[in-house]
Structure formats: C-alpha cells, structure tokens
Amino acid sequence: METRQLGNSDLYITPIIMGTWQAGKRMWVGIEDTDSIKAIREAFEVGITTIDTAEVYGEGHSERIVSQALKEVRDKVIYATKVFANHMKYDQVITACHNSLSNLQTDYIDLYQIHWPSGSWKSEIVPIEETMKALNQLKQEGKIRAIGVSNFSCQQLAEASVYGQIDSIQPPYSLFWRGVEKEIQPYCVEHNISILAYSSLAQGILTGKFGNNPNFPEGDHRKDHRLFQSPHWERVQLALTKLTPIAQEYKCTLGQLAIAWLIKQPKSNAIVGARNLQQVKENAEAIKIRLTEEDLIKISSIGNEVTKHLDDNPVMWNFDS
C-alpha cells in the first residue's frame, strides 16, 4: 500500500489506518481477543502498517493486544497511541507514555497524541504549554517520534502548535460527519498537518449493514451515536439509498466507497476498525478504487444532505440521553 508523509515528520503512514478501539473491549460487545489479534495481524499482511490505539481503550488492553499481534514485526509498523485528558500534567504525561511503552512492548512510540483537550470529560484543566513541554521532552529523549492531537478545535490546534511541532490531528470525520471541513481542514492544508479521521465509516453506518431499525445489545456505545437517532437516521437511510448505485458502478461495497472518498479529501487518512479478518480485507481493498472528480462531487453532495443538519458539537454521542 502507498504511504504518505505524516505532517512535517519523517514518518510515513498508510492512508488506511487500523483502528483498535474495539480491541479494548470496553464499550463494545462481542469482542474476542483472538479475533482482534487476527484482525490486526491481517491488517499488516494486506499492507495496512499504521495502527492507532490509546491508553484509555480498555485501560491499556487495546495496546497490549496490538503488541501481541505485531511485536514480531515492530520495526515494520507505525504505532500511534494517545494520552487521555486526565493525564495532561507534565509528570502524568511522562508516566502515561511509559505505561503505553510497556503495554506496546516497545522502546518508542511513533506518534503520541493528546486524546482529548484538557478539561474534556470533567478532567482538570492544565495549560497546553505544560502538556507540550512533556511531549517535547519525550520526543527529545526518543521515546516518541512525532506529536499529534485529537478532538481539538482549530483554535486549540493552533495554540498547541505554538509550543511544538504538531504533525497530525485526529477528528471525527466521514462522509456523514464533516465538521472538520469548516476550519480544521483548511488549517491543516496551510500548515501541512495530517488528518487521521476516526469513525471514518460513521461507526459502521456507511456500510449500510444496519438496515432500517438498528438494535444494539446492552453496553454497546453505538446506541448513543447521534446519527442513529431521529431525525438524522431517516436522512442517513435516504443518503445510503442514493450512494448504492454509485457503489455498484465501481463494483465495491458502500463502506469501500466511503473510505475511498475520505482518503481523497485534502490531507485526510481513514482510521477504520475491524472485528475480523474479512472486514480488514474489505477495508484494504478501498485503496484500489479510483473515483472520478465528478463522482467525488456527487458523493460529497449526497453526504451533505446528512451533515448540513448537524450542529457544531464535535462529540458524536449523546451519552447522557
């Protein structure tokens, strides 16, 4: 698979990135470690060599699963992990990084990201200057190779950049969730910052697999996703109906079409999770799809019928509902 430079760093990532939130098990249902390990290993085998995880995914469980899957090929993969919003003080960042290094069984992390801005999820507010001081120190020591942020506004991204080189931002971004296009994407284009889009399939919605009436077991966080809730869900269904003939024309699935569209957007790369081998193989095939400019515009227009009704709240879930 082709690779792209990560921001201004010396790292090169694959446009399709293996997401491993589900491997942490927490907030997911029906996840088995053996399946997660096989899926992550399959991602490597089909050319997806960039793996995204986080300390908060199952309290380190996802990181440990990534290690089990890839420790034998560590020098051939890019590890991207994250420090959570409750670990933003200098000493906390250092400790969290060392814990992630231990979980991943490695002596360096390729891309270390601030998962959520300080103050998110009722966390203590810590000046970004302090957090960045710790990240710069870790980078100087060779513990991390590049610094990224996640779930930051454009203003927060610009502020973090004052205190060090930011090579990537990880926002929610998909054909059906496009707030990033307003300010963040133009800023990233101007400053050569890579976008690592999470929920690039809108947590599976863009695969069309849920039918008209999605039902989730107790403990599955997707039931709280705003796109699954009325009136957005009705707009989603109409848009999927319009996208289906385009996918048929390209002889691909709806999910592959959505990934192909996303990685053609400016500075954008798609983080895609998978529960099993087959999903990984299908996701990887999206790299082969060559959408015409006309179809890119058409697909964007269809997606806009969903996204234009969303507000600017970047959080995709109504967890309190």
- pLDDT attached to residue 280: 96
83 contacts: CB under 8 Å, gap ≥ 6: 55, 92, 93, 96, 97, 100, 112, 113, 114, 115
pLDDT tens digits for range 217-276? 766 767 778 888 888 999 999 999 999 999 999 999 999 999 999 999 999 999 999 888
Indicate which residue of 57, 79, 173, 198 is catalytic: 57
pLDDT recorded at residue 70: 98
Going by CATH, does the domain composed of 4-204+255-289 fall within 3.20.20.100? yes
* Six token digits for residue 239: 């848009």
Can 57 be counted among the known catalytic residues?
yes
Q: What are the distances in angstroms from CA 225 to CA 159, 178, 201?
A: 29, 15, 13
What per-residue confidence (pLDDT) applies to 191?
Answer: 98
Say yes or no to pLDDT of 214 above 80: no
Decide: residue 159, CB within 10 A, 0-12 exposed, 13-18 middle, 19+ buried: middle
Q: What is the pLDDT of residue 139?
A: 98
Average pLDDT over residues 94-98: 98
For the chain, the structural domain boundaries read: 4-204+255-289
Cβ neighbours of 52 (radius 10 Å): 29
List the structure tokens of 52: 């995204």
The answer to pTM > 0.85 is yes
Share of the chain above pLDDT 90, in %: 84
Name which of 99-113, 153-167, 201-215, 236-250 the model is least confident about. 201-215
Distance CA 62, CA 15 (A): 21
Residue 317 pLDDT exceeds 80: no
Confidence of residue 321 (pLDDT cuts 50, 70, 90): very low
Contact call for residues 239 and 303 (beta carbons, < 8 A): yes
Query: How does residue 300 score in pLDDT terms, banded at 50, 70 and 90?
Result: very high
- The pLDDT of residue 319 is 62
Tokens of 82: 């994250």
